[in-house]
Amino acid sequence: MDKATSGWISGFIGVLIFSGSLPATRTAVLQFDPVFLTVARAAIAGLLALALLLLLRQKRPAREDLVPLAVVAGGVVLGFPLLTALALQHVTSAHSIVFIGLLPLSTALFGVIRGGERPRPAFWFFSGLGSAAVAGFALAQGLTASPAGDLLMLAAILVCGLGYAEGGRLSRTIGGWQVISWALVLSLPVMLAVSALYWPPSFAGIGAPAWLSLGYVSLFSMLIGFVFWYRGLSKGGIAAVGQLQLLQPFFGLALAAWLLREPVSWMMVVVTLAVIACVAGARRFAR
């Protein structure tokens, strides 16, 4: 198997894993405080990452890599999980998954900023069209949706795109799985401290679905998914493998309907398809 094919397979597995993140988070925040959920999942994943780094005797990152790692940690370890957990107190996971269609565009945007690329005008046309489709969808929901939830999801997409772009760039020098592992370890002291601060007085009322969801977002969404994802970006190329994110809304909507029995309206499907088409067009003209 050649390097590019291996990268595509790794990236595809990563997207499949990430697709379960929002439904699992939605289930977990029904019984866990969103701040506790955010820091607890990062703390659990951070302890596992630390053990992995020590077991495999990985050398510490260079001093110049610490700031980029902090950006990755702020985007994908803290920012995206916290903002989505807060958003999912106001909107359903099916509603929020539509916004995930903007992730490739967000990643590309920060890739342009960090890499100094100059996309053609058609890129910005598709970019604006996709954003307008999402904004129109959110407004069309009226009182059944929450403006606060939509704004939190948009913020989550921005910080996640930054974390993806920075992590993908950094994975070329220190390795794919090492990026997320060191980012988790870097944030571990803060996550442990805040976990203790927000520790619930009792876990008696927490049901099995919430515990399973916490386990999923800690082990798979926070660590294993990124091991495959950054490995895919490193081997197959950020621009190419990044397109696999376009499949995530489909997988996420299917999971939300199957696992949570949430309604998936025809408008959600249409908007998701429109956003995917716009992002695909934007990426085509990114160079």
Query: Please, which residues have CB within 8 angstroms of residue 145's CB and are 6 or more apart in sequence?
Result: 91, 95, 138
Among candidates 228, 214, 266, which has minimal Cα distance to 20? 214
**What is the DSSP track for 75-92?**
IIIIIHHHHHHHHTTTS-
Residue spans of the domains in the chain: they are 3-199+206-284
Give residue 189's pLDDT.
94
* Confidence label for 55 from pLDDT (cuts 50, 70 and 90): very high
* pLDDT at position 143: 47
- Cut 0.75: pTM above it: yes
Neighbours of 287 (CB within 10 A): 11
Residue 145 has pLDDT above 70, yes or no: no
pLDDT at 45: 95
Q: What is the mean pLDDT of residues 231-250?
A: 73
Per-residue pLDDT at 277 exceeds 50:
yes
Please check the confidence at residue 234 and state whether its pLDDT lies above 80. no
Find all residues with CB under 8 Å of 252, minimum gap 6, and list them.
19, 20, 22, 23, 93, 94, 97, 100
Give the highest mean pLDDT range of 8-17, 138-147, 266-275.
8-17
- In the prediction, which pLDDT does 240 show? 61
Is the confidence at residue 75, as pLDDT, over 80? yes
- 41 or 92, higher pLDDT: 41
Give the range among 145-154, 193-202, 235-244, 265-274 with minimum mean pLDDT. 235-244
Q: What is the mean pLDDT of residues 246-252?
A: 72
Span 82-115, pLDDT tens digits: 898 888 888 877 677 778 778 877 877 787 777 6
Residue range 185-196: average pLDDT?
94
Residue 214 in this model has a pLDDT that exceeds 90? yes
Span of 37-41, 94-98, 114-118, 279-283 with lowest mean pLDDT: 114-118
Rounded mean pLDDT, 37-42 = 92
Q: Kindly report, residue by residue over 158-171, the tens digit of the pLDDT.
A: 999 899 888 888 88
3-state secondary structure of 116: coil
Could you tell me the pLDDT band of residue 265, with boundaries at 50, 70 and 90? Answer: confident
